[in-house]
Amino acid sequence: MRMIAALLLYCALTAAYAEVLPEVLPNAQLAAPPVPPPGFIPPPLNPTGVLLETRELASNVYALMSNTPFADNAGFVVGDEAVLVIDSHFNGEMGQQIIDAVRQVSDLPIRYLLNTNAFGDHVFGNYVFPAQTQIVAHQGTIDALSKSSVQGIARTMRGTVDGDLSVFDGVELRIPDVGFDRQWSVELGNTVVEMHWFGPSMSPHDSVVFLPKEKIAWTANMIFGAGTIPWARGGDLVAYKQTLVNFAEKINPQTIVSGHGDITDGDAVPRYLNYIDDTLTVACNVLRDGVESASVYANAELDAKYPIEPTLERLMTGFHRWNLKAVMADPAQCAAH
């Protein structure tokens, strides 16, 4: 009888876990990221008090820049007959702030909303956009969100908002309508807007929005703003490097609006590639020489040759230690380096 009871309890717990699991997925392939290294701090993304500044980058092309370090940015493009928005931010309040910024410039309908990844700070404002707005994302983002919930994503992101889950109050998960594999595009009169997926980077489905004529790109979490380094949250720096190579071969932006941080330029790509090469070399040398890896990544500091934004120094140091630890935990990356 005890064995039967234990078996029934195990089955019940297994079933309960299976029901809960989809709720904790912010992204289908990032349910359980590695344990952070010493000194790592979550990105500070709390939207409370965040104001978005409208910056005109080209005719009818606007960036929406956060007034606090590393909180989310967005953007929009005004066409002849409609408006396209890039990302919807953290919650309904921030999504409405984006809509209000658009309305300061144009009364045209918001026909398209592009979601650059599956994290809540990029998609949780979706639900306040008009019902007729067509939401576009990489199919992997759609699949991840379809397996997720507001509560699960909020729990996953609680460290980024200082544990204040009230910032997610009232959020409704609105999943994108249109998915793409490698590329999607639309003509808005004289402006063409493309959306690309070049491979995994910070997360598996980070996508890039690109305006070929204006040479402006929104890079979400793949390339952060000025004075930053990449963060391979999923752990694979070799794949991240290849994604950046694909990006550089396909498009050549002069202006980069990141998901987080200040506007930068196309030189961010070689800077990111150099950083990844250097980090892979350091980590692989540690493994080759048999040095105790934890003592290396736990105390690692960024080389002064990387021009880090002073307000982001602690955050970027944590990213650097995370990247080192990820390679040292996966020696196969050294074989591919």
24 within some domain: yes
176 CB-near residues (< 8 Å, 6+ apart): 115, 123, 126, 135, 136, 137, 141, 142, 145
Query: pLDDT tens digits for 244-289?
Result: 999 999 998 999 999 999 999 999 999 999 999 999 999 999 999 9
Each residue's pLDDT tens digit, 208-232: 999 999 999 999 999 999 999 999 9
**Contact in structure between 27 and 116 (CB atoms under 8 Å):** no
Arithmetic mean of pLDDT, 168-197: 97
Contact of 90 with 121, CB cutoff 8 Å? yes
User: So what's the pLDDT on residue 32?
Assistant: 59
Whether 290 is covered by a domain: the verdict is no
Position 132 in a domain: yes
At residue 10, does pLDDT exceed 90? no
pLDDT at residue 21 greater than cutoff 90: no
Looking at the predicted structure, is the pLDDT value of residue 3 above 90? no
In a domain? residue 279: no
- Each residue's pLDDT tens digit, 284-324: 999 999 999 999 999 999 999 999 999 999 999 999 999 99
Domain count, the chain: 1
In sequence order, what are the residues at sequence separation of 6 or more whose Cβ sits closer than 8 angstroms to the Cβ of residue 10? none
The answer to whether residue 179 is domain-embedded is yes
**Where does residue 39 fall: left (phi above 0), alpha (psi -120 to 50 degrees), or beta otherwise?**
left
- Tell me how far apart the alpha carbons of residues 223 and 256 are, in angstroms, rounded to a whole number: 8
Residues 48-74, mean pLDDT to the nearest whole number: 97
DSSP code for 169 = T
H helix intervals, the chain? 2-20, 92-103, 120-123, 139-146, 150-156, 237-250, 268-289, 293-297, 313-328, 332-336
Tell me what pLDDT residue 18 has: 32
- Residues 56/85, Cβ–Cβ less than 8 Å: no
Q: Is the C-alpha dihedral spanning 210, 125, 137, 248 positive or negative?
A: positive
Q: Is the pLDDT of residue 8 over 80?
A: no
Does 3 fall in a domain?
no
257: closest CA among 112, 77, 75, 83?
Answer: 75
Amino acid identity for residue 256 in this structure: I
Q: Does any domain span residue 243?
A: yes
- Determine the pLDDT at residue 34: 73
Please indicate, yes or no, if residue 287 is contained in any of the structural domains: no
Range of the domain at 177: 14-271
Per-residue pLDDT band for 17 (boundaries 50, 70, 90) equals very low
CATH of the domain at 144: 3.60.15.10
Confidence of residue 22 (pLDDT cuts 50, 70, 90): very low
Q: Give yes or no for residue 186 having a pLDDT over 50.
A: yes
Location of structure tokens 């290849």? 242
Q: What is the pLDDT of residues 116-140, one digit of tens each?
A: 999 999 999 999 999 999 999 999 9
